[in-house]
């Protein structure tokens, strides 16, 4: 499968995209590691293998004469996504003084690699469930599916945060870190760049739902961002054939982006008296912000249509130029995080761009 991917699929699916121009003063460096959670077995793997979480770091090049510490931003990709889904966002943040840790969620990601060098592709059962090819589930089954997806991913994210914080405090990387010889020096320098008191979590689609749930679970997370994701973790059960959801106030600042097509569908539903968990959460949040971008669809909140026009079109590309949409996204993400992680300015956002 690896040979087929490298020789046939990769040249067809992906371009040589290198991101968008950045606004910050820092040069951006990259490194990667696989963090192995020895407290969990991977439900997708046979034989009781530990859960592995590949992490890709984007961080400012440090001035040795004037060392700094930077806020941490965790990124969780969507269903069938992968760690480079929002490459331009990582570059923009890192150039402005953030350390970004972009995760691959094995078997939810389109593809990744494990510590043995084996390429791991998205699970077939997961594809069927997300796309509805396994049939339309009843509300209780739907709730259980959503809960399982979010629980797996929030466990991944929390494990990564805890592991990074431990390495920052101790100054060493322990047996949880699988690092190639080539990446070793770069990776081991990353925890020493972190200000572990300033953490945000963001994601696209199912990754956005993950970020929101982490905002409820962890007191050390100061802000979350949801890029066009239904907040699946807000569902708390099913009654009379319908999903129910939480209505208690959301505890941390949250910024939600919504695709134009989804925005119009939700507005129609709200006008008919229906309720939507994202809308309830944003209205009840301590600091909730919402925006949409005209003529966008789901994948216009990622770089996918830029580095893979084929997949972007197939999975949801709107009439709006994706590069233009992503420049708006990246600018607002930076302003929001500057406000709530660095204490710079007062964040405001238009409802429609």
End-to-end CA distance of the chain: 42
Once rounded to an integer, what is the mean pLDDT over residues 278-303?
A: 96
Q: Domain with 196 in it: what CATH number? A: 3.40.50.1820
Cα maximum dimension of the chain:
64
User: Does 218 map to a domain?
Assistant: yes
- Measuring CA to CA, which residue among 318, 248, 315 is closest to residue 281? 248
User: Total domain count for the chain?
Assistant: 1
Q: Is 145 exposed, middle or buried (0-12, 13-18, 19+ CB in 10 A)?
A: middle
Q: Distance between CA atoms of 294 and 173, rounded to whole angstroms?
A: 45
pLDDT for residue 9: 55
User: Does 212 map to a domain?
Assistant: yes
136-153 pLDDT, tens digit per residue, is: 789 999 999 999 999 999
DSSP annotation of 232: G
Which range has the worst mean pLDDT, 3-7, 55-59, 105-109, 262-266? 3-7
pLDDT for residue 1: 47
User: Does 162 map to a domain?
Assistant: yes
User: Does 351 map to a domain?
Assistant: no
Of the chain, the percentage scoring pLDDT greater than 90 comes to 85
User: Does 78 map to a domain?
Assistant: yes
Q: Distance between CA atoms of 48 and 71, rounded to whole angstroms?
A: 35
Once rounded to an integer, what is the mean pLDDT over residues 152-162?
A: 98
pLDDT for residue 8: 45
Average pLDDT of the residues of the chain: 93
pLDDT tier at 249, thresholds 50, 70, 90: very high
pLDDT for residue 67: 84
Q: Is 181 left (phi over 0), alpha (psi -120 to 50) or beta?
A: alpha
Of the chain, the percentage scoring pLDDT greater than 70 comes to 96
Once rounded to an integer, what is the mean pLDDT over residues 265-269?
A: 95
pLDDT for residue 12: 59
Whether 327 has a pLDDT exceeding 80, the answer reads yes
User: Does 281 map to a domain?
Assistant: yes
The residues, any chain, with a CB within 8 Å of residue 235's CB and separated by 6 or more, are: 143, 146, 147, 243, 244, 245, 246, 277
User: Does 3 map to a domain?
Assistant: no
188-213 pLDDT, tens digit per residue, is: 999 999 999 999 999 999 999 999 99
Query: C-alpha distances in angstroms, 90 versus 77, 84, 211, 347?
Result: 12, 9, 16, 20
Which range has the worst mean pLDDT, 9-23, 27-41, 323-337? 9-23
Range of the domain at 233: 18-342
Q: Distance between CA atoms of 134 and 206, rounded to whole angstroms?
A: 19
Query: C-alpha distances in angstroms, 280 versus 95, 182, 249, 266, 340?
Result: 34, 47, 9, 12, 22
Q: Is residue 207 within 8 Å of residue 74, measured between CB atoms?
A: no
Which range has the worst mean pLDDT, 16-20, 68-72, 96-100? 16-20
Q: Is residue 294 within 8 Å of residue 314, measured between CB atoms?
A: no
User: Does 129 map to a domain?
Assistant: yes
């Amino acid at each position: 499968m690896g040979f087929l991917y490298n020789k046939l699929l990769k040249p067809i699916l992906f371009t040589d995209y290198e991101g968008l121009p950045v606004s910050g003063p820092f040069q951006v460096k990259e490194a990667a590691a696989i963090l192995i959670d020895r407290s969990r077995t991977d439900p997708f793997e046979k034989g009781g293998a530990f859960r592995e979480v590949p992490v890709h770091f984007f961080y400012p090049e440090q001035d040795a004469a004037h060392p700094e510490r930077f806020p941490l931003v965790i990124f969780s990709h969507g269903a069938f996504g992968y760690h480079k889904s929002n490459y331009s966002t990582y570059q923009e943040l890192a150039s402005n003084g953030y350390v970004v840790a972009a995760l691959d969620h094995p078997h939810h990601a389109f593809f990744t690699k494990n510590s043995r060098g084996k390429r791991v592709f998205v699970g077939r059962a997961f594809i069927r469930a997300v796309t509805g090819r396994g049939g339309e589930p009843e509300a209780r089954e739907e709730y259980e599916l959503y809960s399982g997806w979010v629980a797996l991913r929030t466990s991944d994210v929390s494990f990564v945060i805890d592991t990074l914080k431990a390495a920052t405090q101790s100054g060493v990387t322990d047996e949880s870190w699988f690092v190639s010889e080539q990446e070793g020096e770069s990776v081991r320098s990353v925890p020493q760049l972190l200000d572990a008191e300033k953490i945000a979590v963001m994601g696209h689609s199912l990754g956005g739902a993950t970020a929101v749930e982490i905002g409820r679970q962890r007191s050390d997370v100061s802000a979350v961002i949801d890029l066009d994701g239904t907040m699946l973790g807000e569902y708390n059960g099913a009654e009379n054939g319908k999903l129910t959801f939480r209505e208690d106030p959301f505890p941390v600042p949250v910024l939600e982006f919504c695709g134009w097509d989804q925005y119009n569908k939700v507005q129609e539903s709200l006008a008919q008296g229906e309720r939507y968990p994202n809308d309830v959460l944003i209205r009840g949040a301590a600091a909730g912000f919402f925006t949409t971008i005209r003529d966008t669809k789901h994948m216009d909140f990622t770089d996918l249509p830029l580095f893979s026009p084929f997949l972007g079109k197939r999975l949801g590309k709107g009439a709006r130029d994706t590069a233009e949409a992503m420049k708006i996204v990246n600018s607002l993400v930076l302003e929001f995080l500057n406000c709530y992680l660095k204490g710079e300015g007062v964040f405001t956002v238009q409802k429609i761009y």
